[in-house]
Amino acid sequence: MAYSLARRFPDQPVIGMELSILPWLYSRLRLTVQPQPNLHFHRMDFMQADLSHAALVVCYLLPEPMEALARKLVMEMAPGGLILSNTFAIRGWHPLDQITAPDLYRSEVYLYEIGNHQPDQV
């Protein structure tokens, strides 16, 4: 998905974060073979990252880590910031939009906006 976003928005930086070594290595190798100037991959824990400048955060996380990330995003992102979650909804939040992806698994994709569609307490 990072490649699709980087190609769709070539004037915007796209930063991928992955803690697991194999997906991170794959991403770095692919970037070597298929360079994308605005795309960067970092091997890091997203919970340690400063997300205050992010306009869009895209996630594919199980429900428990997703809840932890949601609390972090509410504290760090500016109102109007967007969160796109693949497969796993944020418990208690109300999506701005929800679609079923045309993939093999018919994955649900949820779009949230900071400041408008989550409860006051997270």
82-86 and 56-59: which strand pairing?
parallel
Task: Give the per-residue pLDDT at 118.
Answer: 59
DSSP 8-state code for residue 79: T
Chain-centroid distance, C-alpha 70: 11
The whole-chain average pLDDT of the chain stands at 92
Mean pLDDT of 86-102: 94
> Any idea where the domains of the chain sit in the sequence?
1-44, 47-122
Closest Cα to residue 31, out of 16, 51, 21, 20?
16
Contact between 90 and 70 (Cβ < 8 Å):
yes
pLDDT digits (tens, 9 = 90+) for 54-93: 999 999 999 999 999 999 999 999 999 999 999 999 999 9
CATH architecture of 47-122: 3-Layer(aba) Sandwich (3.40)
pTM for the whole thing?
Answer: 0.85
Q: What is the pLDDT of residue 119?
A: 59
pLDDT of 121 higher than 70: no
